[in-house]
Amino acid sequence: MRRLRTALGLAAIAGVTALLLSGCAAGSAAPTSESVSGDGFPVTITSALGDATIEKKPERIATWGWGAADAVLALGIQPVAIPADNYSGGDDKMPPWIADAVDKLGGTKPAILDISSNDVPLEELLKTNPDLLLAPYSGLTQKDYDAITAAGIPVVAYPSAPWATPWREVITITGKALGMSTQAADLLTSLDAQVKDAAAAHPEFAGVTIAYVDDDVDTFYMYLPADPRVEVLQDLGFVSPPSVTSLDKGEGTFYTTVSQENLDKIDAQVIFTQGEDQKTLDEFLSSARGQLIPAVKKGAVAAMVGAENVAAVSPTALTLPWALPTITQRLAAAVAVAKG
């Protein structure tokens, strides 16, 4: 999973953020008044790298980082440029949820920006003639920000820190920048309703303890309730087991590492996990360390693999509805084993 985290800009889990149902820590659905001011145009959006003043409704939107392209597409706008997805994208470097949305909207497909250097490819970006760059959840540097703004393009960067903007706030900021705040609020309401409907369809989830874990070769991670992925699981009716509190070392706000000698203390009825591919997942589940976890030994495991794993590790306006049916299906099977 280390390569996957790097691909999404979440490489240092100890310092940045986590991925499928991830943003960093769960936050409010809307940015503070210090992050966004004004309504309509012109509008000024303040970020950690500087202010972006958008004089009129943007028509050619480019995006950078994770989640912004999803928000733009979900609001019915075809972006002119989006970052490549070298992990879950196909030949076109677009993951299936973005490719589906692009095809549905029609028109000219967005240019795919190279992410191999982690720097914004300025020449590629300028060729698309954007009138706005949205990067509210990204690792955008001050150098890139200054170069792009010097070219006359307003840049909406992250409000406080790189890779640390809650996924709901990404949608809200995007809506504000596009003059679509009402539509963004409606989108969030719709996404929340989808989770509530899934919970109502699976009353057996209520009160079942679950632990979201990730085996990363020599480090074992367990995600805390502050992680948006865990938040979604709780919205579905699951609860965190006592081990989440007892094993938390205080290493971060959204995760803790668990040593091998403590894996048998993960007292969840169900384990939710992820795998870069099925082979890697199977190796973990059948390994000596994996079998130390009671729920794994019993077979009460729900897992997401490959591209579906990417969708599961970081919720966006598109990944949440794309992955939710599969997530609930896998969880239902795991709960049946746990209760059987």
What is the CATH number for 152? 3.40.50.1980
| Residues ≥6 apart with Cβ < 8 Å to 239 | 207, 208, 209, 210
Answer with the one of 151, 180, 209 that is the final residue of a domain: 180
Q: Does residue 152 sit in the same domain as residue 97?
A: yes
Number of domains in the chain: 2
Q: Which domain-ending residue is among 118, 149, 180?
A: 180
Mention every residue, 6+ apart, whose C-beta is less than 8 A from residue 32.
Answer: 159
Do 210 and 176 share a structural domain? no
Domain boundary residue, one of 180, 206, 231:
180
Same domain, 210 and 332: yes
Of residues 2 and 95, more confidence is placed in: 95
**β-pairing, 132-134 with 61-63?**
parallel
Are 162 and 208 members of one domain? no
Give yes or no for residue 216 having a pLDDT over 70: yes
Same domain, 169 and 239: no
pLDDT (tens digit per residue) in 260-305 = 999 999 999 999 998 888 898 999 999 999 999 999 999 999 998 8
Question: Tens of pLDDT along 10-27?
Answer: 333 323 333 333 333 333
User: Mind listing the pLDDT tens digit for each residue in 41-90?
Assistant: 999 999 999 999 999 999 999 999 999 999 999 999 999 999 998 877 77
What pLDDT is attached to residue 7?
Answer: 36
Indicate whether 198 and 176 sit together in one domain.
no
Is position 164 within any domain?
yes
Same structural domain, 76 and 170: yes
Would the pLDDT of 153 be above 70? Answer: yes
Compute the distance between CA of residue 16 and CA of residue 11 in angstroms, rounded to an integer.
7
- Same-domain pairing of 170 and 220: no
Is 276 within the bounds of a domain? yes
Is 19 part of any domain? no
23 is a domain residue: no
Please tell me the predicted confidence (pLDDT) of residue 245: 85
In a domain, residue 290? The reply is yes
pTM for the full predicted model: 0.81
Same domain? For 117 and 151 the reply is yes
Domain membership of residue 274 (yes or no) is yes
Same-domain pairing of 81 and 151: yes
Whether residue 186 is contained in a domain is answered as: no
Q: What is the pLDDT of residue 311?
A: 59
Q: What is the pLDDT of residues 170-182, one digit of tens each?
A: 999 999 999 999 9
pLDDT for residue 31 is more than 80: no
Domain encompassing residue 118: 43-180
Q: Answer positive or negative: Cα dihedral of 229, 230, 233, 235.
A: negative
Distances (CA, A) of 339 to 269, 275, 311, 335: 8, 24, 27, 6
Q: Are residues 82 and 150 in the same domain?
A: yes
208 is a domain residue? yes
pLDDT for 309 equals 60
CB burial readout 208-243, b (16+ within 10 A) else e: bbbbbbbbeeeebbbbbbebbbbbbbbebbbbbbeb
Mean pLDDT of the residues in the chain: 86
Residues 99 and 225 both lie in one domain: no
Q: 155 and 171 in contact (C-beta within 8 Å)?
A: no
